[in-house]
Amino acid sequence: MRRVLLKSKIHRARVTDADVNYEGSLTLDRNLLQAADILPFEQVHVWNVTRGTRLITYAIAGERGSGVVCVNGAAAHLIRPGDIVIVASFAEFEETEARGHRPHIVFVDEQNRVSQPPVAELPGPKRWGAQGEAITTAPG
């Protein structure tokens, strides 16, 4: 049996641009693509934290170091500059691979720069400290 698991996630990036006249896709800074192990033209899910919308598109490489997160085409009606989004990619794994798989979780700062090395996913409220800061290691 094959299972579909989260491969990688860019967590809480800030949308820098939205271009409704472009054909489609999501332009991401090459540094973000590399950190999250997302290839150009790979399918990505975009979850808008600000508005609650979700969509599926594909990634295209933007200028390295630019911090660009640009929503293109029809998706620009659902996501606007300044919105906070999560970008996720998924992959199929054989049962034995799936059991040991750990996704790449990439956190970014206010300028969409990788703010720390990829970390393990922590469940819900355990991710955030008392002051709202991200906790980057599992407790205990």
Closest CA to 112 of 19, 8, 9, 32: 32
Kindly name the residue from 58, 66, 89, 115 that is annotated as catalytic: 58
Active site residue 25: yes
Kindly name the residue from 25, 66, 89, 115 that is annotated as catalytic: 25
Phi, psi of 34 (to 5 degrees): -65, -45
Residues contacting residue 72 through CB under 8 Å, at least 6 positions apart: 18, 19, 22, 23, 24, 25, 26, 27, 57, 60
Catalytic residues: 25, 58
